[in-house]
Structure 1
Amino acid sequence: MSKPVVTIIVAALKPLYGIGNQGGLPWRLRKEMAYFKRVTTRTVDPSLRNAVIMGRKTWDSIPPKFRPLPNRLNVVLSRSFENEAVDDNILHARSVSDSLQLLKERNIERIYVIGGAEIYNEFIKSGLVDNVLLTEVEHTEKEEIEMDTFLKFDANQWIKSSKSELIEFTGEDAIDDDIHEDKFVYNYTLWQKQ
């Protein structure tokens, strides 16, 4: 079995790649959330599924009725998390390498890292990430958006893929440019390791 592709999937406010404030998201982008669900759930091989790796705070931020995220193997990366519910869709890992080791022997097509910042940045620093699916968000109003959490993403170390490569990678039929929602405009992008 080939090694699953490791992809970070994240929405970040340009130009500093802000991804959160006081433990929450600074926006509610319904179309972006639907895209996230489709992309992280979709597989080419119907006998496989994808895994989503997240930190405990991200896990806790998901309303209990929506977790584990359906049709994906959920891996919670934490030194203190304990899975109280006996559920085959949830694994607990204590480190980045532990999370990938746990997934090695399972029928996984792709691995998506879904947050939070500490987990994203640890994966980027580890050099184990193949791709970054980055939703580049811009604010359309003049007022400042409060951000205290940032993605440490250096675009100079990555190559931005073409729109056709993005469509092929995500399996989406088409991808719109400049999606307007609430006070934001955003674009889906795919970055690959240089």
Structure 2
Amino acid sequence: MTLEDTPTRRQLIGSALGAAVTLAGASQLFGSADRVAALSSAVMRPGAATKPAVRLAITDKLTFPVDANPIYGTLVCLNNFGGRSTANGPCSHNGVDIGNDKVSGRGRPLLACVDGVVHKDEAFSTGGLTRILRDGIGTYYRYHHLDSYESSLKEGDPVTAGQVIGTMGNTGNTVWSHLHFEIWQDSLTPSRATIIDPVPRLWFPHGVTLRAPTACAT
């Protein structure tokens, strides 16, 4: 995959080692998409990032935050960090959206992406039921629009990567059952945090479709 010469590309070029991507057929719901066959060291074509959403270098890979078992249906990840969350929305999306591309994904297990603790559970009018994890170096992982929390976990409990922490839903300001996933470094206060693109950090399981972002003017 060719990376265009953009400020985002120059930030990531030292970490981009290449990607193996095959083309998938068109989805009835989302249209054409790139099938992610392997993304062990990949940087996908970015959308235009706007502050505070910035793309940083790849470090250790995170466990994919949604159970990719095909018994729950096939998954699509909208690569819309720094882009639009809706067709005509502002270019200020602080995360990526992961959900089923055909059947409803409501109730699909959500997984801890890292070893850490349950930092906080909150409910927002926009983000719905939200569970926030924190790792050992002060990075926060935000899971939005949950249908339910894993009841055996409460704030302060330890979690291990791959552990079920809740289920996918459409609480908040969405009708599509999906996970809105964000990564915040150093703080949960917007003015103090660095919000980074999850895509280069994630290990993508076989069969997950990474859809191109909605273009934004630069």
Q: For the superposition of Structure 1 and Structure 2, which TM-score range results when normalised by the shorter chain?
A: under 0.3
**More helix by proportion, 1 or 2?**
1
- Higher RCO (CA-CA < 8 Å; seq separation 6+): 1
Please give the TM-score of this superposition, normalised by the length of structure 1.
Answer: 0.24
TM-score, normalised to structure 2, is: 0.22
